[in-house]
Chain A
Amino acid sequence: MTIGTELARAVGDANVAPIAGEPAAWQVAPAAPAEIAEVVRLAQRHKIAVVPLGTGIRPSADRGPRVQIAMRRMDHVIHLDETSLLVHVQAGLTGMGLEKILVPRGLSIGDYPPAVLVSTLGGILAVRTPGKSSVRHGFFEDAVVGVSAVLGDGRTVHTRVAPRRSTGPDLARALCGSEGTIGVITGAVLRIHRKPEARFAIASILPSIDAAVSAVYLALREEAALAGVRIYDAAEARIHFANATPPLPAMSEGEALVVASTAGPTDLAACDRDLVASAVAAEGGRTADTRLAELWWRRIHAGEPTPVAGPTLQVTATPGKVRAVYRAVCTATAGSGGARAHVSRFDADGAVVFFTLAGGEAARATAETAAREAGGYLLGARATALDPYLIGLRAALDPHGIMNPNALRD
């Protein structure tokens, strides 16, 4: 029996297809964890790789004998627990797909960037990128209460659901961020939220980026629970709000625009907005038209188009390093046309600085070096010092080395 036939037996004829132009590569679309387990066992017998595939937005560089596991048929909500605000979903459902199910019930996955939620939930959890965060809810992984997966030996695991526990390490975290090397994530139990009772927005102009960063952290320290916050430098603000209604007020070089949004019970959301206002005042800022902040929020969360191409460089920095990273990249690229930036995706870990380099790709290497030297983390960074332990864990759970073997080895 050929591998193709065996795969067909596992997932059904209609759900297997050879990958064009390759002699030993198939895509399967299983409908249940048991089918994935069967595929994994089969791959183990034939010593071919197992590579999970979400929406396929990220192009795969994989070549060689392999089974690609497309998650598209596993897109069901298994259980919606409105009492505990938990949802058990299959990993092939996208964040947006889940949101469409939740919103009519007055629920929401939370204020995560929709750009993140276009991916499948399995993909969001399996691959770490710095944008998957919200000021109010934290890093997306913090919403995970349990994970289901098929390990390299075909064993199906479900980490059990509890709000918190003291029963050893958080085993779900071995699967999150592991890019399919520990197991294929087949489902997850996620914390969800009620739709907030009220939302407020606020826009302000601060005398400098430093003052803007200070104002944001001052508000967070006064415990303002923000739904979102973003800082634009003057150049970035002018481009993002060109022809905006209302128009962006005149900003001098060095000034910064801060937009923020709050959400929650009305009194508390209003309180949080006022905390931002007083933090801005304390840092020498002035208020701007609230509608600028509303426009920013609609662009991110309501699909209103942003008239600007995406940023060219993302750098994550811890709270104390945001200013230094910004300054370092601007200074380093000054000779090649400079850089403009906005700072967004704040959480306890820090924030992400999104640079657009005037010098384009030619300026990238200089900018990246400057960012790293200032203590920033580039997109795709990895703590390689712990690789021996990851290799040990992989070897224990995947002795044949078939689970997405090329991932996390760069």
Chain B
Amino acid sequence: MSSREISSETVRRELEAIVGPRRVSVRDADLDTYARDMWPRLLLAHREGAPAGHRPHAVVWPESAREVASIVKVARGLRLPIVPYGGGSGVCGGAVPILGGITIDTKRMTALRGVSADELIVDVDGGLNGERFERELARRGYTFGNFPSSIYCSTVGGWLATRAAGQLSTKYGKVEDRVAGLTVVTGRGEVIETDGPSRALRGPNWTQLVLGSEGTLGVITSARLRVSPAPQMQIYRGFEVENVAAGVEAIRRVLQRGLRPAVVRLYDELDTMMNSMGGHHPDHDLQADAHAPVPTPGEGALPILPHPAPPPEDGVVGRLLALARGGRAIHRELLGAALDRANVVNRVFGAVAEKVARRGCRMIIGLEGARLRTEVEAALCFQELAAAGAHDQGEEPGRAWIAHRYAVSYRMSPMFRDGAFVDTMEVASSWERLMDLYHSVRTAIGQHAVVMAHFSHAYPDGCSIYFSFAGRGKDRAEAERVYDAIWRDGLDATTRVGGTISHHHGVGLLKAGHMEGEHREAMAILAGLKASLDPDNIMNPGKLGIGGGPVGRAR
């Protein structure tokens, strides 16, 4: 691809012919903005003020699928890459234009064409912001049920392109479980619709073949999504279990009994300790937590994001970082521990965690839905947990979790100082392999960084594990080396025990080099889809480990 030789000016002229002069930009400020997403590895460089490694030739804001199709045709003609861009909240580099090209910002496609009450389906554009989407549905008495912590800064199309999950996925499913049909502009520059009752139509299910394609097959411009009636009641509760294994077993019993709480979360010893030391527990912390969205009366499930405030360091991530820097917020005996001796820290931590969190691991369980059934189901869930040895801690921990559930993600950027970084790795497996996965990945990451984990997104057949880690290098180059080593070892460990390398963040550039290990021979099917939907190989090059481009395994 000779994309480097094409001038931004040429691209601008071609795009202006489609969308007019006001919805195309080749300005430096825009090209810099669209050079990256929220991939923490790029934040390390960004924090230093380093220039963007890869910029698009142009950014364009189409307003319809037809315009997107024309743009893709132009790109085909120029043999230029297309990179779809939603909220830019991705954490895997999925929107990074590694070969330049045209970045399509979908955020001007925001129509919500009403809910069909009979079908319980909403027709919505891909560029609509998640928070606005849920608010619009709530006004009409429905919910889509996807509440990722990025909901304030992610789009519906971005969710679908990455197979995203929200905090209440145990009841509502991941987004891919809720899709009745997609409108997609393929790499051929054609608009296709994948609708129709899947079981009634012969041939493969195209909806499921496009979901999760991260822009490598086409641009999702709108979707027909299944909605649920807004919940009539919510019941949240905290439990404590002796250790991680006991907690995992308790969750498995609940799910396999056919019960569907909206959310079950189990924090490992360290994560539990972090929680009990800061952010989540006492009510008076709500005020102190100014940097993160908190609910005010009458705002329901979606607190409004407050104005940016100076980053406090009293939350979970703050404490983790304070620890990384040898800061004040943590127990005295850990003061000397530094992240470049992370394996020692992890061990010390384990011991301290056991002492501090004497009662074991915390678990949060929440149910919501129709009044009558939710009450019955909650009683059964609590019985089952008690029978599995979990101790009821009352409503308070559950309420505290609800209040702070969007907080953590908005506190990450202040951490990227002095070569320090934080990131999260979300893997999943069947129940049979879950503890193996937990220990293997924890050990793998623990060689390089301080690591803690919680279990969330449970299913009758398995569960995901969400590892949070903080590391440091003495300069950016070393920080990047440590960062890459964490991901290499963590994902290798995941593949080795038969887990999946991503439960809901996606692949992007970060995990592209691990896709062969994930899918092995079945990558042939992905390559076949690519050949069919994107014959010129222009759609979001380098992502998902297909489509050429300088794809490296994170190293």
The interface of chain A, by Cβ under 8 A from chain B, is 81, 83-86, 127-130, 132-133, 139-141, 145, 151, 153, 155-171, 173-179, 182, 191, 193-194, 196, 217, 221-225, 264-265, 267-268, 271-272, 274-275, 316, 318-320, 347-350, 377, 380-383, 385-386, 389-393, 395-397, 408
CA distance A166 to B212 in the complex (A): 6
Select the stretch in B16-24, B302-310, B338-346, B373-381 that faces chain A: B373-381
Partner of A164, one of B165, B205, B498: B165
Closest chain B CB from A217 CB (angstroms): 8
Find chain A residues with CB under 8 A from B229 CB: 221
Indicate if the CB atoms of B461 and A163 lie closer than 8 Å: yes
The residues of A that contact B201 with a CB separation of less than 8 Å are 128, 377, 381-383
Determine whether B533 belongs to the interface, using a CB cutoff of 8 Å to chain A. Answer: yes
Alpha-carbon distance between A406 and B60 when the two chains are bound, in angstroms: 44
B199 at the interface (CB under 8 A from A): yes
Q: Beyond A166-B504, A173-B205, A221-B229, is A268–B376 a contact (Cβ under 8 Å)?
A: yes
**Complex CA–CA separation, A194 to B193 (angstroms):** 38
A168 lies within 8 A of B526 (CB): yes
Chain B residue with the shortest CB-CB distance to A314? B200
CB A148 to nearest CB in B, in angstroms, measures: 10
Interface residues of B in 350-381 (CB under 8 A from A): 369-370, 372-374, 376-377, 379-380
Cα-based distance from A385 to B192 in the complex (angstroms): 8
List B contacts of A178 (CB < 8 A).
203-204
**Chain A residues whose CB sits within 8 angstroms of the CB of B377 once the complex forms:** 268
Q: A133-B199, A160-B498, A377-B201 are in contact. Are A222 and B532 (CB under 8 A)?
A: no
Would you call B176 an interface residue if the criterion is a C-beta within 8 Å of the partner chain's C-beta atoms?
A: yes
Q: Of B380, B432, B504, which is within 8 A of A84 by CB?
A: B432
B138 in the interface (beta carbon within 8 A): no
- Whether A393 contacts B428 by the Cβ 8 Å rule is no
Question: Quick check: which of B4-12, B116-124, B479-487 contacts chain A, the rest being far away?
Answer: B116-124
Q: In the assembly, what is the distance between CA of A84 and CA of B251, in Å?
A: 12
- With a CB–CB cut-off of 8 A, which chain A residues contact B515? 167-168
Q: Which residues of A contact B174 (CB under 8 A)?
A: 164
* Contact among A164, A222, A395 for B372, CB-based, below 8 A: A222
B164: interface (CB < 8 Å): yes
List residues of chain A with CB within 8 A of the CB of B428. 162-165
With A128-B199, A132-B199, A163-B461 known as contacts, the answer to whether A81 contacts B118 (CB < 8 A) is no
CB of B520 closer than 8 Å to a CB of A: yes
- The answer to whether A166 touches B506, judged by C-beta atoms less than 8 angstroms apart, is yes
Instruction: Tell me whether A169 and B380 are in contact in the complex, defined as CB-CB below 8 angstroms, given that A127-B202, A164-B428, A222-B370 are known contacts.
Output: no
A267: which of B163, B213, B380 is its contact (CB, 8 Å)? Answer: B380
- Is B379 a contact partner of A164 (Cβ separation < 8 A)? no
Q: Tell me if B525 counts as interface (CB < 8 A to partner A).
A: yes
The CA-CA distance from A391 to B532 in the complex, in Å, is 8
- Which B residue's beta carbon lies closest to that of A264? B258
User: Known: A83-B431, A265-B380, A383-B203. Is A168-B369 also a contact (CB below 8 A)?
Assistant: no
Q: 9 new A-B pairs (CB below 8 Å) besides A139-B198, A162-B503, A349-B198?
A: A160-B518, A162-B430, A163-B462, A164-B176, A169-B211, A182-B525, A268-B373, A271-B376, A397-B528
Q: Report whether B202 and A158 are in contact in the complex, using a CB–CB cutoff of 8 Å.
A: no
Q: Interface size for chain B: under 10, 10 to 19, 20 to 34, or 35 or more residues?
A: 35 or more
CA–CA, A14 and B73, complex, Å: 56
Interface membership of B524, Cβ < 8 A: yes
Q: A141-B198, A265-B257 are in contact. Are A173 and B209 (CB under 8 A)?
A: yes
B379 CB to closest chain A CB (Å) equals 7
**B29, CB-defined interface residue at 8 Å:** no
Task: List residues of chain A with CB within 8 A of the CB of B498.
Answer: 160-161
- Residues from 393 to 445 in B contacting A, C-beta threshold 8 Å: 428-432
**Sample of 13 A–B contacts (CB below 8 Å):** A83-B252, A84-B431, A157-B520, A159-B522, A162-B503, A167-B501, A168-B214, A191-B460, A221-B229, A275-B372, A319-B118, A320-B119, A389-B533
Give Cα distance in the complex from A28 to B186, angstroms: 40
Where chain B touches its partner, the secondary structure class is: mixed
Q: Please determine whether B373 and A397 come into contact, CB atoms closer than 8 angstroms.
A: no
When the two chains form their complex, are residues A408 and B505 in contact, meaning their CB atoms are under 8 A apart? Answer: no
CB B526 to nearest CB in A, in angstroms, measures 6
For B118, the closest partner residue in chain A by CB is A320
Q: Known contacts A81-B432, A84-B432, A166-B163: does B203 contact A390 (CB below 8 Å)?
A: yes
Which residue of the partner chain, among A86, A275, A318, A350, contacts B373 with CB atoms under 8 Å?
A275
Once the chains are docked, how many angstroms separate the CA of A272 from the CA of B503?
32
Bound CA–CA A181/B139 (angstroms)? 46
Complex interface residues of chain B between 469 and 527 (CB less than 8 A to chain A): 498-507, 511, 515, 518-522, 524-527
Chain A's closest residue to B260 (CB) is A225
Q: Does any Cβ of A come within 8 Å of B33's Cβ? A: no
- Distance in Å from the Cβ of A306 to the closest Cβ of chain B? 23
Q: Does A156 contact B532, Cβ atoms closer than 8 Å?
A: no
Contacts of A169 in B (CB 8 A): 208-213, 217, 526, 529
In the complex the two chains form, is B369's CB within 8 Å of A223's CB? Answer: yes
Interface residues of B in 113-144 (CB under 8 A from A): 116, 118-120
Nearest residue (CB) in A for B522 is A157
When each residue 174-193 of chain B gets 1 if its CB lies under 8 Å from chain A and 0 otherwise, what string results?
10100010000010000011
Closest 10 CB pairs of A and B: A392-B532, A320-B118, A163-B462, A162-B500, A316-B200, A396-B528, A84-B430, A349-B197, A163-B459, A173-B208
CA gap between A161 and B380 in the complex, in Å: 29
List the B side residues contacting A267 at CB < 8 Å. 376, 379-380
Residues of B near A85 (CB, < 8 A) are: 256, 460-461
B149 interface contact, C-beta 8 A: no
Could you tell me the distance in whole angstroms from the C-beta of B233 to the nearest C-beta in chain A? 12
Q: Which of A271, A274, A386 has the most CB of B within 10 A?
A: A386
| CB proximity of A273 to chain B, nearest CB, Å | 12
With A165-B163, A166-B502, A169-B208 already in contact, the answer to whether A377 and B196 are too (CB < 8 A) is yes
Bound CA span A69–B272, Å:
55
List the B side residues contacting A268 at CB < 8 Å: 258-259, 373, 376-377, 380
A386 touches B522 (CB 8 A): no
What A residues does B464 contact at CB under 8 A? Answer: 163-164
The smallest C-beta distance from B195 to any residue of chain A, in angstroms, reads: 8
Cβ-defined contact, B522 with A316, below 8 A: no
Q: Nearest chain B CB to A207's CB is how many angstroms away?
A: 19
> Are B209 and A164 in contact, with the CB atoms below 8 A?
no
A267 to B377, CA, bound (A): 8
CA distance A393 to B174 in the complex (A): 27
Q: Is the CB of A171 within 8 A of B431?
A: no
Provide the residues of chain A in CB contact with B528, threshold 8 Å: 174, 182, 393, 396-397
CA distance A86 to B544 in the complex (A): 27
Question: Nearest Cβ distance between residue A94 and chain B, in whole angstroms?
Answer: 20
- A81-B430, A162-B462, A222-B372 as given contacts; A182 in contact with B522, CB under 8 Å: no
Beta-carbon nearest neighbor of B379 in chain A:
A267
Determine the distance from Cα of A233 to Cα of B462 in the docked complex, in whole angstroms: 42
Chain A neighbourhood of B544, CB < 8 A: 167-168
Q: What separation, in Å, do the CA atoms of A66 and B54 have in the docked complex?
A: 52
Selected contact of B503 from candidates A158, A159, A165, CB within 8 Å: A165
Q: How far is the CB of A319 from chain B (nearest CB, A)?
A: 5
A127 and chain B: residue at smallest CB distance: B202
Q: A163-B459, A170-B208, A170-B209 are in contact. Are A177 and B203 (CB under 8 A)?
A: yes
Which residues of chain B come closer than 8 Å to A393, judged between CB atoms?
Answer: 204, 528-529, 531-532
Query: Which B residues are in CB contact (< 8 Å) with A320?
Result: 116, 118-119
Contacting pair A349 B199 (CB below 8 A): yes
Which of A130, A171, A194, A348 has a CB less than 8 Å from the CB of B522?
A171
A319 touches B120 (CB 8 A): yes
With A158-B520, A167-B500, A385-B192 as given contacts, are A128 and B258 in contact (CB-CB < 8 Å)?
Answer: no
A369 to B463, CA, bound (A): 47
For window 527-544 of B, CB contacts with A under 8 Å fall at 527-529, 531-533, 535, 544
